[in-house]
């Protein structure tokens, strides 16, 4: 059975991606969550209601031992399974102007987005290389592409993932493994609920926030067999915001 692992899949963009990959590609979805088990189970219920399959898997992407233990146990319990797709979606924000930014908020944001990318990807990449097939899609941000005031930590984390995406893509391309990134702009999720929406919409040429489903459709294409000649790319989904 072929699986797709989506980190931070209990809510928002991660949940939308999990449901879309199950529907479009028939993957059995590994729904990773850190603390919100109820939301992860709700995502699983939606997948199952639509005829798909999945499991929930708890680990904190920032903790390498937790990630390694969870993936190792998964393969021990499912020896015939193959994690063919990895979506590195987990991320947090701790916004503040740089002069007021605490070291803890800097480190926590980098630990989840940047170190989380390393921890999850290193846990599954060797098997992808041996299988000579895989799809990795990293959810980054307009913040990592052009920088956003008040998000130096988030911009650094996501910018780092973009650099790693391009490097890793070149390393594994000969093994028929693609590594791409998707950079959403302002998307309607719980993470953006507290933002001054009416003011921010003025910055978006499309004159609206995007939806998690729009991001999920783009990820679904990059996961597909038809996207096999696309690697090392950053797909911007931001309604026309460019630096």
CA distance 63 to 11: 20
On whether the CB atoms of residues 95 and 145 are closer than 8 A, the answer is no
Q: Which residues are designated catalytic?
A: 154
On whether the CB atoms of residues 77 and 84 are closer than 8 A, the answer is no
CA distance 209 to 242: 15
- Assign residue 132 a region: left if phi > 0, alpha if psi is -120 to 50, beta otherwise? left
Q: Which helix (H) or strand (E) holds 235?
A: strand 234-237
Strand, coil or helix: what is 180?
Answer: strand
């Amino acid at each position: 059975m072929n699986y797709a692992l989506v980190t931070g899949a209990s809510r928002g963009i991660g949940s939308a991606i999990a449901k879309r990959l199950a529907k479009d590609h028939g993957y059995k979805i590994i729904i990773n969550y850190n603390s919100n088990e109820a939301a992860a189970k709700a995502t699983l219920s939606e997948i199952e209601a639509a005829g798909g399959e999945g499991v929930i898997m708890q680990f904190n992407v920032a903790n390498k031992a937790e990630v390694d233990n969870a993936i190792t146990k998964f393969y021990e319990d499912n020896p015939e399974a193959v994690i063919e797709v990895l979506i590195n979606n987990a991320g947090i924000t701790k916004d503040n102007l740089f002069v007021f930014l605490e070291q803890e908020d800097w480190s926590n944001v980098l630990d989840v987005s940047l170190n989380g990318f390393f921890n999850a990807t290193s846990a599954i990449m060797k098997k992808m290389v041996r299988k000579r097939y895989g799809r990795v899609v990293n959810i980054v941000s307009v913040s990592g592409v052009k920088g956003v005031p008040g998000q130096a930590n988030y911009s650094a984390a996501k910018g780092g993932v973009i650099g790693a995406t391009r490097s890793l893509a070149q390393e594994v391309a000969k093994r028929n493994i693609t590594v791409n990134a998707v950079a959403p702009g302002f998307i309607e999720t719980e993470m953006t609920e507290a933002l001054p929406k009416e003011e921010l919409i003025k910055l978006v040429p499309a004159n609206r926030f995007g939806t998690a489903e729009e991001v999920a459709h783009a990820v679904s294409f990059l996961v597909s067999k038809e996207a096999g000649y696309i690697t090392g790319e950053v797909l911007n989904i931001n309604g026309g915001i460019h630096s």
